[in-house]
């Protein structure tokens, strides 16, 4: 990866390489849908990034506030992907709080999925018949 070839990279390609999105088309859709803002403004997937640019990325309930540290147009290991950006401390703390809240608010109804097994039916009948 020479510095000369990475002076500018498309935002959708960088988001994919930095492992924010599983595919490049998902990254493009997020940028087009306004889920990704470059320096506080909406942009097109073909917009070129440069080191120092600020990105605000909304993925589901999570919000990432990152600064582009390095450019890459190829997807590599997760350890390398983490070196491509610097995340704001407040953004990281907020995401950690959301993860902790989700663990606390786990839905007990999700424990049983699909049809009950024979054992489950017997337990249900024990409670309903008595």
CB 19 within 8 Å of CB 78: yes
* Residue-range domain boundaries for the chain: 1-91
Helix (H) or strand (E) holding 11: helix 11-17
Percent of the chain with pLDDT strictly greater than 70:
89
Report how far residue 17's alpha carbon sits from residue 31's, in angstroms, rounded to the nearest whole number: 15
pLDDT at residue 4 tops 50: no
Per-residue pLDDT tens over the stretch 23-41: 999 999 999 999 999 998 9
pLDDT for the residue numbered 48: 92
Q: Is 5 helix (H, G, I), strand (E, B) or coil?
A: helix
Lowest pLDDT segment from 34-38, 56-60, 102-106: 102-106
pLDDT for the residue numbered 2: 45
The residue among 67, 70, 48, 44 whose CA lies nearest residue 56 is 67
Helix (H) or strand (E) holding 98: helix 89-104
Q: What is the mean pLDDT of the chain?
A: 87
CB 71 within 8 Å of CB 51: yes
pLDDT band at 12 (very low <50, low <70, confident <90, very high): very high
Domain covering 1-91, topology: 3.10.290
């Amino acid at each position: 990866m020479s510095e000369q070839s990475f002076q500018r990279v498309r935002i959708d390609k960088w988001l994919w390489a930095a492992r924010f999105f599983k595919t490049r088309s998902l990254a493009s859709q997020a940028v087009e849908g306004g889920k990704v803002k470059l320096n506080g403004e909406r942009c097109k997937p073909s917009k070129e990034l440069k080191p120092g640019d600020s990105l605000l990325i909304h993925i589901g309930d999570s919000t990432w506030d990152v600064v582009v540290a390095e450019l890459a147009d190829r997807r590599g290991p997760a350890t390398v992907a983490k070196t491509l950006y610097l995340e704001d401390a407040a953004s990281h703390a907020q995401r950690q709080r959301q993860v902790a809240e989700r663990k606390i608010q786990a839905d007990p109804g999700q424990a049983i999925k699909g049809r009950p097994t024979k054992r489950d039916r017997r337990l249900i009948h024990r409670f309903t018949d008595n």
